[in-house]
Amino acid sequence: MYRVKVDHASKLANPRLRRFALCLLAAFVLSTVVNRADNMARAADQESIDYERDIQPILQKNCLECHGPRKQESDFRVDLRSKLLRGGDFAEPAVIPGKGNESPLIKFVRGDAPDLIMPPEGNRLSDGEVKRLRAWIDEGAKMPEDSFAALTTDHWSFQPVQRPALPQVAGRTITNPIDAFVLTKLKAAGLKASPEADRATLVRRLYLVMHGLPPTPDEIEQFVADKNEQAYENLVEQVLKSPRYGERWAQHWLDLVRFGETHGFETNRERPNAWHYRDYVIQALNDDKPYDLFIKEQIAGDAIGADAATGFLVAGPYDLVKGQDPMLALTQRQDELADIINTTGTAFLGLTLGCARCHSHKFDPISQRDYYSIQAIFAGVQHADRAISPSKENERALAVATERVATLRRQFQNWMAEHGYRTAVNAAHNVETFPQTQARFVRFTVLATNGGQPCLDELEIFSGDRNVALAEIGAKASCSSELPGYDIHKLQHVNDGKYGNSRSWISNEAGAGWVEIELATTETIDRIEWARDREGRYKDRLATQYKIETAVEPGLWHSLVSSDDRLPYPQDTAISSVSFEGLPDDTAAVGKKLFGELSSAEQTREQLSKREMIYAGTFTQPGPTHRLYRGEPSAPREEVSPDALEVIGTLELERDSPEQQRRVAFANWVADPKNPLTARVMVNRIWQHHFGTGIVDTPSDFGANGTNPSHPELLDWLAAEFVSNDWSIKHIHRLILLSDTFRQANIPSPRAMNIDAGTRLLWRFPSRRLEAEAVRDCVLAVSGALDPRMGGPGFSGFEVEMENVRHYHPKQNFGPDDWRRMIYMTKVRQERDAVFGVFDCPDLSQVMPQRSRSTTPLQALNLFNSQFMLQQAELLAKRLEGERPDGREGQIKLAFWLCFGRDPRLEELAHARELVDRHGMVAMCRALLNANEFLFIP
């Protein structure tokens, strides 16, 4: 081909043209040869790329430099296709098959972004290795593992719950399965269980753990003296049936769900209707509501008739102050949803879901997509008050009350008509006639309307046939207010002599207001005419209840006429007043009786028709939810469907599923008996509050970053037992309380302490100090001041400055209103009770699965010197004097029984006598209330 082209070029006649053609041909030949060589080289390169030989070593080298020699499933393994396509920390696919330059993996290993370099330290890939990787991705990133593997884990807490067989304990008859597991562990560690505690210790322990209150001396003596073999079992049942149980254990749950009764942040405004959720939790525990239902109601209670329960969703802090910056608003909303997601994850699942907001979880099988799929579940939840749906009983009662009001209204209207009462008001025209009266000022006051602000199109005041109210003859109008922004509804129209809505006065007060006419001179008047709209087009805003007054001198008003002698307007919700003047006594008595019955029935109907407000959130259909790159609202990625954790299962919901349906599906998934986490997490929490530490001592982190269970078989046995007994919390309580493990003495053993100083293996009962709420409640109980009222709005521990930004100042003086149990104290975020807040009370802005137990000088100072404690010591001294008036000895013994549940020892009695003689009974009471024996669970 080239020879033919050269022949043609050489035959050209013009020498210069011939040389030019030959040069062009040479350039073409050279270009063709180079391109063919390039293509042949590429083909050779492509043929030479072998995954196992050329690519896998590069990927594995990169893994080793990033992670070291360990190859855990939780690591981001770039040598696995499923990991490359699923993505790493930021849930972005590491490779985009066919697009090498656009693939994040190439950008990382090439070092395009300084903060995202692979590996961050150590030997980087060579340029040649990067080039080979890019070429391999351009080809399609073919690997042996070409299926997209499901997210999996072998971590213990994600495995199905299976009831283990009970271990055999040689030489001992086991009646409670808990003891079999505990004794087996003790034996393996070379330890023995402690003997059973004495009865006085047992009853005190039982009451403090379950009620957070000490037993009374009578309750202690009765149990100690009870010879019945079932005495302890009967006492446990009695304790579980008491409403004090729900109050005590509800506090543990409220800690867990960050419940507060103020919003937090700068303004920290109050939530006056948040207490309904607190009462719901108390009642649910006292009723032994099945835990699976307890979960469902808190996530989707609006769908199943438990409105107050969804207070769980909005129990956390909320920033009322919204900025003008749209990006700030988006960030605030993301924070609100993160609070809901994190609390739901820690409370019910024992997982730190919030760690997957910005990137896939570092330790647990929770991808960033999982996080935003769960966000789609809660995306329609808004912080707000909501009206409680009326119960069926309420609806029936309201229907009966409404019918009774209608019947009584007909009877009363008939009676009024029979006895000469005027007709009801009319929107088009009303005439008020009365004996001639001297007046300079006339005031028309509206007391009620048939809806909205009242409207008068003209107020006419007649002296004979002359309208003396006209502005054109010098009369001046004034009013309580006028509706702003409407020229057709100004005050000047009320006496301009023109009718109709377009020239009328409307007040700016709902159902109220007054208009006054000052006449040019004092006149003798005998008639007033008024209307809402004399053109007859409008009937709303009509004054249905009113009064008209006159005065000659300013401020000296006299009643002239009113609506009291008119028949009720048909749409009136209630008749506020009726005049019975001028009627015979017996006739008036009948009318008053009918009116009284009607008023009472209307009040009953009004009460029944009121819908109580609760701070339990409102719900709207959300828009699309996107995964956010690095958690940034400004960096949305793909849209996600509402769903649960992929590693456990899917909800199979559509992206546009109804809002409530999403929460119902998620609640059912959490409460499913097959969910491996839910039952384990809850029985661990119950165990924790019996013994001070859970079987898993990171109670809200059952993931890889948490601790392993001290008794894994026992945990699974309890979880299986929980589910198989209808998720009964009281059933688990009963098992624990009746176990020998719980009934052990708490006497330390030097040998056992050397092996298990933290008592995790439970060779004795672990004594511990009471929480702040229980300390305060116990003080009130022994002083005799405790108010046992349950439920309803709480009491405040603060004096509040009601400014835009609330300021909370601790109370200095306390009275009976402050002596309820501390669970009923209003929970103020960012503030703590001045006396008991130092005993490790949570801040309420964060979940608190396990309180710390600090010991500080301030705790001792508060208990000994605070005004509250001084007052309670005085009340205790008065109680001792009142119940043991026979003398000092009996008062000292009663004080020991009230505070410690026992008689004083001889040495203690001698010291107490000396203290009382020198400093008085109040000083001894202060000492007892500060003693460790009073503050600790024995």
Give dist(CA 606, CA 791) in Å, integer. Answer: 23
Answer yes or no: is 86 within a domain: yes
Task: Tell me what the pLDDT averaged over the chain comes to.
Answer: 89
Residue-wise pLDDT tens digits, 644-660: 999 999 999 999 999 99
Q: Torsions phi, psi of 279, nearest 5?
A: -65, -35
Q: How many CB atoms lie within 10 A of CB 655?
A: 12
What confidence tens digit (pLDDT) does each residue in 816-856 have? Answer: 999 999 999 999 999 999 999 999 999 888 899 999 999 99
Rounded-to-integer distance, Cα 291 and Cα 680, Å: 12
Residue 472 has pLDDT above 90, yes or no: yes
State the residue for tokens 């004399």: 534
**Mean pLDDT computed over 675-701:** 97
d(CA 658, CA 654): 9
Of 84, 106, 138, the one marking the end of a domain is 138
788 is a domain residue: yes
**Residues 372-402: pLDDT tens digits?**
999 999 999 999 999 987 878 888 999 999 8
Mean pLDDT over residues 75-94, rounded? 58
Residue tagged 């209707």 (tokens): 273
Report the candidate in 874, 884, 855, 854 with the shortest Cα–Cα distance to residue 921. Answer: 874
Residue with more model confidence, 31 or 60: 60
CB burial string 871-882: b at 16+ within 10 A, e below: bbbebbbbbbee
Instruction: State how far the Cα of 650 lies from the Cα of 632, in Å rounded to an integer.
Output: 26
Type of residue numbered 490: K
Better-predicted residue by pLDDT, 84 or 59 = 59
Inform me whether the pLDDT recorded for 44 exceeds 60.
Answer: no
Residue after which a domain boundary falls, among 138, 159, 192: 138
Question: What are the DSSP calls for 517-577, one per residue?
Answer: EEEEEEEEEEEEEEES-TTSS--TT-EEEEEEEEESSTT--EEEEEGGGBPPPTT-S----
Segment 499-504 shows an average pLDDT of 95
Instruction: List residues bridging with 562 in a β-sheet.
Output: 547
- pLDDT tens per residue across span 322-380: 878 999 999 999 999 999 999 999 999 999 999 999 999 999 999 999 999 999 999 99
Total domains present in the chain: 3
Distances (CA, A) of 80 to 58, 94, 198, 365: 13, 11, 62, 16
- Token pair 């982190």 is at which residue? 701
**Range with the poorest average pLDDT among 261-270, 394-403, 898-907:** 394-403
pLDDT over threshold 70, residue 4 = no
Amino acid at 368: Q
| Residue range 607-636, pLDDT digits in tens | 888 888 999 999 999 999 999 999 999 999
Range of the domain at 479: 425-565
Per residue in 725-769, pLDDT (tens digit) is: 999 999 999 999 999 999 999 999 999 999 999 999 999 999 999
- Return the percentage of the chain with pLDDT > 70, whole number: 90
Rounded distance between C-alpha atoms, residue 665 and residue 299, angstroms = 10
The yes-or-no verdict on residue 67 having pLDDT over 80 is: no
Q: Please name the residues in contact with 547: beta carbons below 8 A apart, sequence gap of 6 or more.
A: 445, 447, 559, 561, 562, 563
Residue 811 lies in a domain: yes
Strand partners, 478: 516
Q: Which has the minimum average pLDDT: 80-84, 178-182, 882-886?
A: 80-84
Q: What is the mean pLDDT of residues 221-227?
A: 96
Distances (CA, A) of 158 to 152, 366, 524, 719: 9, 12, 92, 13
pLDDT above 90 (res 124): no
Q: Tell me, yes or no, whether 304 lies in a domain.
A: no
Question: What confidence score (pLDDT) does residue 607 get?
Answer: 87
Over range 139-154, report the average pLDDT: 65
Residue type, 383: H
Task: Please name the residues in contact with 555: beta carbons below 8 A apart, sequence gap of 6 or more.
Answer: none
The reported pLDDT for the residue numbered 65 is: 53
What average pLDDT does this structure show over 800-824?
Answer: 94
Question: Higher-confidence residue: 269 or 13?
Answer: 269
Residue type, 659: E
pLDDT of 129: 82
Contacts of 591 (CB under 8 A, 6+ apart): 412, 415, 416, 419, 578, 580, 583
pLDDT tens digits for range 691-705: 999 999 999 999 999
Report the predicted TM-score, pTM, of the whole model to 2 decimal places: 0.76
- Provide φ and ψ at 563, rounded to 5°: -85, 0
SS3 call for 918: helix
Banded pLDDT at 92 (limits 50, 70, 90): low
pLDDT at res. 24: 53
Identify the band that residue 112 occupies on the pLDDT scale cut at 50, 70 and 90.
Answer: confident
The reported pLDDT for the residue numbered 244 is: 98
The structure tokens listed for 202 are: 């047992």
Contact 90, 133 (CB under 8 A): no
Whether 790 and 243 have beta carbons less than 8 Å apart is answered as: yes
Domain's final residue, options 103, 138, 173: 138
* SS3 track for 398-412: HHHHHHHHHHHHHHH
Residue 432: which of 552, 497, 527 has the closest Cα? 527
Supply the DSSP symbol for 610. -
Q: Which of 395, 817, 792 is nearest to 614 (CA)?
A: 792
Going from the C-alpha of 276 to that of each of 245, 255, 304, 392, 826, the distances in angstroms are 18, 16, 17, 19, 12
Residue 301 lies in a domain: no
